[in-house]
A and B are shown apart, each in its own frame.
Chain A
Amino acid sequence: GAVVSQHPSRVICKSGTSVKIECRSLDFQATTMFWYRQFPKQSLMLMATSNEGSKATYEQGVEKDKFLINHASLTLSTLTVTSAHPEDSSFYICSAYTGTSGYNEQFFGPGTRLTVL
């Protein structure tokens, strides 16, 4: 099956620093990648949709200058949380969509737990 990796799995940083999270599709080319955020005991919240070679589409309420997304290739998308603050602490999950699966399935990475002190 399709495998998506995320790195790092956990990160702890000081307030004001920037953190980069990588999302890679390991055995397929992802035409589209999605970035989600999930707070404790809540469902996934879509932050942005990223297509290779074009600008990401951000959901309402998500600051594009704070959450920088770069989809440089068909196998890699990165999310950079700039000037992180404690309220940015969350579980960040990426998913990749091949566009060829008969199920229209999104394949999820294992997630990144961000803690901002």
Chain B
Amino acid sequence: EADIYQTPRYLVIGTGKKITLECSQTMGHDKMYWYQQDPGMELHLIHYSYGVNSTEKGDLSSESTVSRIRTEHFPLTLESARPSHTSQYLCASSESRGQGAKYEQFFGPGTRLTVL
């Protein structure tokens, strides 16, 4: 089983609140990712990081922000939550092996966010 953790697992919060979803991995992976997944739909990449102090936006536009101060930690923050942010958020990590490499992404258990 992959050593990648997400907290909280479930979060119900009111509109306008600031929230931070935590993601940590103990595998020493350089690359980390955040995906958003709605029920019955595919995963969409919203943020990724090549390493410490590196963050990039993914394919799906998101109002969330991320930071990568430590290799093992990649938190996602929403400054003002809205009902449209209700979704499942999945964190993943992988080794950095360069272009076209057969690396694998290991996923955390996800955070189910509900904004009322």
A, B assembled together: no
